[in-house]
Amino acid sequence: MRHDANLTEERPTFVTHLECSITGETYEADILHGLSRAGRPLLVRYDLEGVSKALTKEALASRPADLWRYRELLPVRDSRDIVSLGETMTPIIPIPNSAAAAGGGEVLVKDEGRLPTGSFKARGLVMAVSMAKALGVGHIAIPTNGNAGAALAAYATRAGIRTTIFCPEDTPEVNVSEIALQGADTWRVNGLIDDCGKIVGAGKEAVGWFDLSTLKEPYRIEGKKTMGLELAEQLGWELPDVIFYPTGGGTGLIGMWKAFDELEAIGFIGPKRPRMIAVQAAGCAPIVKAFEDGVEHATRWEDAHTAASGIRVPQAVGDFLILRAVRESGGFAIAVSDEAIEAGLTEVAQSDGLLLCPEGAATWAAYRQALKDGRVSANERAVLFNCATGLKYPLPPARQTLDRHAPLDYSRFA
């Protein structure tokens, strides 16, 4: 099979309609939609019986190892609308030394930093941009803490779609530069990501752009759900016991939960589900508070702050979907300090040679904390999501120097 067969071959599609995630109201597919009339995310629905007849595990295994291998469970109907920069399957990497030092069991990291633009945002944005192309969108705007903007800029530029992107003023410089270099009209804003989101929402009528903010259109979920499809396939169609997921807007956690239901419906997995663990920073933990308070919706987190900028989301439009998945799975939401995140990043890098991003390090800190307080046991197989390459973030300086002209005391290297 050709290396690009998933991108170029026409395959059957099975989208039937869209559905409001809170009321169940149905919407016609193949028409541009934002939120439902109830102001909630729309979910893509498929003829899963048809998928089960068209797709087998054997056929799937013969396809190139990229995100588009799951075409029957994705919304893009025509291969000419696929916008791709090479969305490879991401590896699952054990961290046995770190796990042993913590007294844990089998811990696996799904390393999303191998994707285009260096983060898992590529999954959601490649699908959203491909559908925007299919539906004739000419101008897209989003708020971003960095990685989503970078992914949107890259894919939209490739598709010939104009982008306007708003970042909090303290967004890491590497992200802002990346976004601008890849063709977006890029703006720093003196506020947080939801403040940027208000600018995007208010500009829809004035400018005419399409608001591609997290969960405000149906297709980023479909891209992010490929994390769950991949994970199941890579583990031999046996899901892990627990998944630790860095949670800001929560699209990936929602998407994976949807993926598992669809995989069961087509007969690829059984009813077993992992416990879904929503990981947040102590300085911005609206989902944790809502989970602990036993409520369905999270209130805005005031004075949100954390070095893990990707999970600094004071309020998520899909809060109830995140909480629903966590509770249905028997999981929990957990907050970790920035100090624990920094320590976790150093520990995994120095013990197992894997450079995590701060949000990925938060999942390791959360695993250690949950192991210690008994919410996770050492006999459970755990998967942590490292959502971006650590190379996109500031790293601690290495300050040792050597004067080549001075006498060397080689004992210092022994």
The pLDDT, as a whole number, for residue 396 is: 85
Cα–Cα dist 353/134, whole Å: 42
**Long-range pairs for 326-331: beta carbons < 8 A, 24 or more residues apart:** 326/253, 326/276, 326/277, 326/278, 326/287, 326/291, 327/291, 328/257, 328/273, 329/257, 329/273, 329/274, 329/275, 329/276, 330/275, 331/242, 331/243, 331/274, 331/275, 331/276, 331/277, 331/278
12: number of Cβ within 10 Å? 13
Distance of alpha carbon 215 from alpha carbon 212, whole angstroms:
8
Determine the pLDDT at residue 388. Answer: 97
* pTM, to two decimals: 0.96
What's residue 367's pLDDT?
Answer: 98
Query: Does the domain made of 119-216 have the CATH classification 3.40.50.1100?
Result: yes
In the chain, residues under CATH classification 3.40.50.1100 are 92-114+225-390, 119-216
Q: Is the distance from CB of 134 to CB of 77 less than 8 angstroms?
A: yes
CATH architecture of 92-114+225-390: 3-Layer(aba) Sandwich (3.40)
Q: What is the pLDDT of residue 71?
A: 98
How are strands ordered across the β-sheet holding 185-189?
Answer: 185-189, 162-168, 139-143, 210-211
Instruction: Report the distance separating Cα 380 and Cα 82, nearest Å.
Output: 38
pLDDT (tens place) for every residue of the chain, 414 residues total: 899 999 999 999 999 999 999 999 999 999 999 999 999 999 999 999 999 999 999 999 999 999 999 999 999 999 999 999 999 999 999 999 999 999 999 999 999 999 999 999 999 999 999 999 999 999 999 999 999 999 999 999 999 999 999 999 999 899 999 999 999 999 999 999 999 999 999 999 999 999 999 999 999 999 999 999 999 999 999 999 999 999 999 999 999 999 999 999 999 999 999 999 999 999 999 999 999 999 999 999 999 999 999 999 999 999 999 999 999 999 999 999 999 999 999 999 999 999 999 999 999 999 999 999 999 999 999 999 999 999 999 888 899 999 999 999 999 999
